[in-house]
Amino acid sequence: MEYASSSACSTCSTVSNQLDPELCFWDEDSVPTEDDKGFQDLIQRDARSPDATIFRAEDGECSEWLSHPDRYCTSLFGDHVTTATTNAFGHLIQFGTYLGAGRSGMFCADQEDTAEPCLVRSRAIKLDEFSRECDEGMYANVSVQWMIHDGIVMQQYIVDNLGTGDMKMLIKFGRDMCIRDLDVEDSDYGFNEDSVDKNHMPPGPNSYSWICVHTMTPSGDGGTGVGFESIAVVVSIFLNGTAVKWNNGPEWHHAIKGRGSQDSSTIMEVVVAYRMVRLTNAKIDWTRFLIPVKAVGINQLL
């Protein structure tokens, strides 16, 4: 589930990108304007912040992988009730969070081709296939770091142009995401059988995030009496410390200056942040549908 990359990612599905007013979970009237200082503080990193300094590896600290030493390895990591799995090339295979709802209480975000949890063997085979996916090479030093902090899964790309000419980069986000309840017993669980085209995928407040909403069926609580409607994944992408706007997504272009330049534009930092939330009938604070830039300061957290 390698959603953000300097090269093309998974193909985007044709899905609903406008949320039915009845399914809007925040009060639009309470969202400040885009130029409001309080809103800007959520989407723009302070240049004076310690996290504004981007790590740059020295030439002696870089090496070239002509052949990955162990391309079939995976990494599973987590923090409290949130976990994620990546492959050797830094691709996100899946992530999950315990929300205390539904049948298992645990929900995960999968790629569309991943079998539902009850199909244990088929699911394992497909996840193993995703673990072997790799990127095409480029003449650049690419550093990929992952972190989970306070329920937010973060992927940080730092691309350092090694050439003397400008490098044009394409950042692309694949939206073929399925949200599943990790119930491994029921093969007729409608929530897990739903395909991507059943999701609602609207932009977040002022279009500075993207939201994947999977509505629960009336029987989705498994008889527990929990009165919730939906599970959602909120995604924010930050380019050099500034949140990108999704009205032109899921593709963004950026040029990285060559080594002849002396400024920081020879480096590109991309942070992709994911948070899974449980939505109820009540209106939720709109800030839950944005991931603030201060929460994704990987350099400072490390």
pLDDT tens-digit series, residues 266-279: 788 899 999 999 88
Q: What is the Cα–Cα distance from 148 to 55, expressed in whole angstroms?
A: 19
Q: What is the Cα–Cα distance from 239 to 287, expressed in whole angstroms?
A: 20
Mean pLDDT for 219-230 is 50
pLDDT tens-digit series, residues 230-260: 899 999 999 989 999 987 667 788 888 877 6
Domain range annotation of the chain: 4-61+70-301
Give DSSP secondary structure letters for 11-70: PPP--B-S--GGG--S-GGGSPPTT-HHHHHHHB--TTSGGGSPP---GGG----SS-TT
* Polymer length of the chain: 302
Confidence check: pLDDT of 96 > 90: yes
The pair of three-digit structure tokens given for residue 130, joined into one six-digit string: 């995703």
Comparing C-alpha atoms, which of 198, 216, 281 is closest to residue 25?
A: 281
The pair of three-digit structure tokens given for residue 154, joined into one six-digit string: 């973060």
- Give the rounded percent of residues in the chain with a pLDDT score beyond 90: 25
Which position has the higher pLDDT, 222 or 82?
82
Q: What is the Cα–Cα distance from 263 to 83, expressed in whole angstroms?
A: 37
pLDDT tens-digit series, residues 185-205: 888 888 887 767 778 888 899
**Residue 25 φ/ψ, nearest 5 degrees:** -100, 5
Mean pLDDT for 53-82 is 69
pLDDT at residue number 238: 94
> Is residue 44 classed as helix, strand or coil in its secondary structure?
strand
